[in-house]
Copies of this chain bind each other. A is one copy, B any other.
Amino acid sequence: MVHIYDYPRPAVTVDCVVFGLDQTHYLQVLLIQRRLPPFKGQWALPGGFVRPNEALEEAARRELQEETDVTGLCLEQLQTYGQPDRDPRGHTVTVAFYALGNLWDYHIKAATDAKEARWWPMKHLPELAFDHGLIVQDAISTLRITIRHKPIGFELLPTKFTLTQLQRLYEIVLARPFDKRNFRKKLLKLDILISLDEKETNVPHRAAQLYQFDRTKYMERQKTGFNFDL
């Protein structure tokens, strides 16, 4: 079946930059290996063509599931890339999204266009197809800015986490150390964490208190001109 238009149109795609934290606490990105040309066999961001009458985020969510079997993430729009030479098949505009997930929740499973799908550490990414290397760089920049102003970091952790885990998360993403006491003081003063009646288990040292992010409380606070600003 062919499709005919009066004027030429660029193709429209979506791509997803999904970040995660691994057991060793390094920042990871979810990539797929391309099954088809162009860039066959090379690693790339999960993504693909937007279908007729499909919303952008919907397309991103669908492609992510199709190619990696990951679902349920909160996708945020990053930027749109439209350099005419960014795809050898011709003028293609891609809308990039980013999302945060915690690695333990997902069993990655390659499918459709993807030969393989897996997490890669940010520090040692392979060479990426198209301009995906640039997109990942932009995503990490945006993440660094956003994580300081919105409580999105929690999405990288299990539901129940310790303050040390949270601190390490911020240290990894922002690539700078925080003082333990000051960090805890600040976070607790925000009053958006629920202190659970539960502790770590099976650790060869004093067990840490577990906390949970209180989204409801955060939402309420939002309205009263309160700033997260870490």
Chain A residues within 8 Å of B, Cβ to Cβ:
1-12, 49-56, 77, 79-80, 82-84, 91, 93, 95
Contacts and interface: CB of A to CB of B under 8 A. Distances in A.
Contact of A9 (B1, B6, B9, B95): B9
Contacts of A49: 7
B3 A2 contact: no
Contact of A8 (B6, B52, B79, B95): B52
Contacts of A95: 80, 82, 93
Given A10-B12, A53-B84, A77-B80, 15 more contacts: A1-B6, A2-B5, A3-B4, A3-B6, A3-B7, A5-B5, A5-B11, A8-B51, A9-B11, A50-B93, A52-B91, A53-B91, A54-B84, A55-B82, A93-B93
Nearest to A5: B3
Contacts of A2: 4-6
A93 B55 CA distance: 9
A54 B93 CA distance: 10
